[in-house]
Every structure is written in structure tokens, then in C-alpha cells.
Amino acid sequence: MFNLFLAVSPEIFLINATFILLIHGVVFSTSKKDDYPPLVSNVGWLGLLSVLITLLLLAAGAPLLTIAHLFWNNFFRRDNFTYFCQILLLLSTAGTISMCFDSFEKERFDAFEFIVLIPLPTRSMLLMIPAHDLIAMYLAIELQSLCFYVIAASKRKSEFSTEAGSKYLILGAFPSGILLFGCSMIYGSTGATHFDQLAKILTGYEITGARSSGIFMGILFIAVGSLFKITAVPFHMWAPDIYEGSPTPVTAFLSIAPKISIFANMSRVSIVASYGGTLQQIFFFCSIASMILGALAAMAQTKVKRPLAHSSIGHVGYIRTGFSCGTIEGIQSLLIGIFIYASMTIDAFAIVPALRQTRVKYIADLGALAKTNPILAMTFSITMFSYAGIPPLAGFCSKFYLFFAALGCGAYFLAPVGVVTSVIGRWAFYYIRLAKRMFFDRPRTWILYEPMDRDKSLLLAMTSSFITSSFPYPSPLFDLTHQMALSSYL
């Protein structure tokens, strides 16, 4: 018996918790009696706690489902795929929150609203993953984007942050409009918004060979909207600016959590709407472009966060090769890619704020880190090597499976391009350059960094042990992703 309340209890809890947190913050931070206390750390811990409780509720409330369940007017669909994606999403959100505390203190950034603004988009992403209807999908995406616009501008006194926020708002409005336009075109052509109905209609079209330019344009616009959100290459230009301008925890959040939810959503859409190969071709083109650009553009950068943004663009390109296959192996390799990408990115972004934001802006500042903070330097270079996809680390696993799937479905052009860009850009110039800076450069002025705080070092220990251990013992990850991919097709 499928218990509806249990199924949605995580979302309900998270909404309530967010509002309670907000009220708590408003009441106490303005109370004269308590001398206007700085609440950011307090609210941060509470936020982390509420995310973890959500995780618990999710894990307890919806045990492994072998059959998919539709609920709430068939707006949402819950199966193994959504279950694990949501767990991953919550884990990465928890990671992001836990890496914030220290940087708040360091930067005198006292705005508890920021923490409140993290669970809010998390909840919308939680809804976005199981969304199984165009309307639900659009609403979830919009809610998420609105939160992001605010969060990007959360450091009000920094002109970079405000610039990033406003840019994001303006640029984000267009793809949202296009997405909605695409949805309405599909609805206009078919009269359906539910994915199951759409799947039936589109299969019918495919079998009869009829062509409808309305459906085609609709799918295209939805794809373009999603590609924008996920920073695929022709629509990527906003990403480096915004990633660089926003505070580092925001950048971390923006480059991990939405990727998971949008990928989950896109894989739903792509399974439904494999109409005339349209999506495949677009994804194919975008993957190649992203890989090449991610490799080349990162080379000339001199700042620390900008290359990380480019690297996320490139990685998203790699992961998207999973879509261009259109097979179950493709989806599986995509999921493996996301899992590993999330852990590597948390790792990388936990390190960057550890090297105090105010000083580390340029790559050159990392010089001789190996002498001053050897363990940190080693962790950072392990992460970089994993990004580059060097064998005993997790990054290799994900790339290997992605290219394997691409070759398996006959994308004989995609895989070699991926390998070549992976080698050229990342290997030689960019990731290794960071490692070289840390280990072999002798800067004129030595920068001494403070040791890392405990939350972050715990987080780093967890993610980097995942990175190093998932290659020697990969079968749990494979089993998991295989189940997920399977259930998304059922």
C-alpha cells in the first residue's frame, strides 16, 4: 500500500522547517533583548539538521520501490530513480551547508537569510526530480530559479555578487520563457501535459511516421531551456560570470545541486520525448561543444573559481554524452557520472573557501601550498587528478563508463572527441597546472593559510575517500545506478 503522506512527508517537512527557520531568524536577530545576535551559524546548524532530518524521512518513508507510483493528480512519480536522486541531492545540499560555516565567520558575512535560502530551492528540486508532468516540471524549475537569483546576490555589499545576481535574473528569464513556450506548444499540438500521455502520443507519431512541427519545436524549446539551466555550451556564457561573482558557498551550491535535479528531470524528458532523434542530436552537438570549450577556455584563466566553472561546464558536457546515447546504459553511465561529479565538486569547493576567499582569487596564490599545508595540497591535487580522469580515482570510472556507453550505442565520433579533449585540456594544462603550482612553484611571498575547521575536514575526508575508493570497489555504485536506470524506463 502506497502511503501518500509518507511519500511527500520529506517535502512537507522541509517547507515547514524553512519557514520556521525564517521566523526564528527574523524574531531573534531583531530582538533588542538578546543584543541583535549574529545568527548565521545557529541557523546554519539548524538548516543542516533539517536537511538531514529530511533525508531521514525520505529514507524511512519511501523504501525501495520496485513499481513506480504516481501521486497528486499524477503530477509526480516516485520510483527508485527519484529515490536515489533525491538522496544524493539532499546529501550534496548538506555538504554545501556544512562547508559554509567557516567562511561565514572568516568573511564577516552575517546574513542568516542565506541559509534559509538553501533549503528552499532544495525543496523545489526535490519536487523537480519526481515531476512527471510539464506543469509540475515548469513550476518546480521556476521556484528553483527564483531562489537561485536571490541566493546569487546574497552578499549585498559586494558589487560582484549583486552583478551576478542581476545578470542571473535577467539571463534566466529568457530560457524560462522559452521553456514555457515549448511546454505550451506541446500542449497545443497534443492536448496533453502528462509525460505518460505524451509518451504514448509521440510513440504513435513515430510509428505512423507523421510529422508535427509544433511538437518538434516544443521539444526543442524545452531542451534549450534545460540546456541553459545546465550550462551546456552554446548557452553557457552566463555561468562563469555568475559562478565567479557569487560567494563561494553559493557557487558550490549552484554547481552541484541543480545539476542533479536538472539531469534527473532531463532524463525523464528525454526518455519520453525521443521524437525523431531531435533531442539526441541536440545533446550530441552540445556535448561535443561543451567538452571542447570546457577544455580550451579553462586554459587561459588566471583566477581560481573561473576555471572551476569552466570545468563544471566541461564535465556537464561529458555527463551529457549519456543522453546522446538514448540507451539504458547511457542513463546508467550518466548517473554514475553525476554521483562522482557531485562528490568531486563538493571536494573542490570545500577546499577553495578553506583558502580564505579574500586572498585566494588567483591561481598563482596557490604556490607552495604543498609546503605550508601538505595534506590540503594533497587532497586538492587528488581532486584535480580525479577531475582529469586519472585511473585509480573515481573520475576515471565515470569517464570510462560514459565513453563506454557512447561507443556501445555507436557514437563513434563522440567518444574520441571526449577522450582527446579530456587529455589535451585537462590533463596537460589545467588540472595539472594547479598541482604544479602547489607542489613545485616557489612564490616570492609565501601565503600562510590557517588550518581548516573540523566540519570541512570531515566533509573532505568523506568525499575524498569516496573518490579514492570507488574505483577499487565499484560494484555497489554500479548496482545502484543500474537499478535507477532500470526503474526510470519501467
Instruction: Scan residues 269-288 and list those touching another protein (CB under 8 A).
Output: 276, 278, 281-282, 285
301 binds another protein (CB under 8 A): yes
Going from the C-alpha of 12 to that of each of 78, 265, 444, the distances in angstroms are: 16, 21, 55
Instruction: Scan residues 178-217 and list those touching another protein (CB under 8 A).
Output: 178, 217
Strand partners, 69: 78
Give me 211's grid cell: 510529422
Give me 121's grid cell: 530551492
Distance between CA atoms of residues 161 and 249, nearest Å = 12
298 binds another protein (CB under 8 A): yes
Give me 182's grid cell: 515549448
Least gap, CB of 46 to another protein (angstroms): 37
Site string for another protein, 456-485 (x = CB under 8 A): ------------------xx--x-------
Give me 385's grid cell: 587528478
Q: Which distant-in-sequence residues (6+ apart) come within 8 Å of 129 by Cβ?
A: 82, 85, 86, 89, 260, 261, 264, 265
Between 64 and 420, name the residue whose CB sits nearer to another protein.
420
Least gap, CB of 115 to another protein (angstroms): 29
383 binds another protein (CB under 8 A): no
Going from the C-alpha of 106 to that of each of 100, 101, 345, 356, 374, the distances in angstroms are: 10, 9, 22, 7, 22
375 binds another protein (CB under 8 A): no
Residue linked to cell 586538492: 380
Least gap, CB of 364 to another protein (angstroms): 17
Distance between CA atoms of residues 429 and 421, nearest Å = 11
Least gap, CB of 158 to another protein (angstroms): 16
Instruction: Scan residues 221-260 and list those touching another protein (CB under 8 A).
Output: 221, 224, 228, 234-235, 237-238, 241
Q: Which of 444, 307, 332 is nearest to 384 (CA)?
A: 307
Written as one letter, the residue type at 188 is: G
Q: How many helices (H) and strands (E) are present in the chain, helices listed first?
A: 22, 2
Least gap, CB of 95 to another protein (angstroms): 28
Instruction: Scan residues 23-82 and list those touching another protein (CB under 8 A).
Output: none
For 289-306, letters b (16+ CB in 10 Å) and e give bbbbbbbbbbeebebbbb
Written as one letter, the residue type at 246 is: S
88 binds another protein (CB under 8 A): no
Burial of residue 328 (CB within 10 Å: 0-12, 13-18, 19+) is: middle
153 binds another protein (CB under 8 A): no
Count the residues of the shown chain that bind another protein, applying the rule CB under 8 A.
36
Least gap, CB of 139 to another protein (angstroms): 23
Least gap, CB of 241 to another protein (angstroms): 6
Between 83 and 168, name the residue whose CB sits nearer to another protein.
168
Instruction: Scan residues 421-440 and list those touching another protein (CB under 8 A).
Output: 424-425, 428-429
Question: Can you give the binding site for another protein, defined by CB under 8 A?
Answer: 167, 170-171, 174-175, 178, 217, 220-221, 224, 228, 234-235, 237-238, 241, 276, 278, 281-282, 285, 293, 295-301, 424-425, 428-429, 474-475, 478
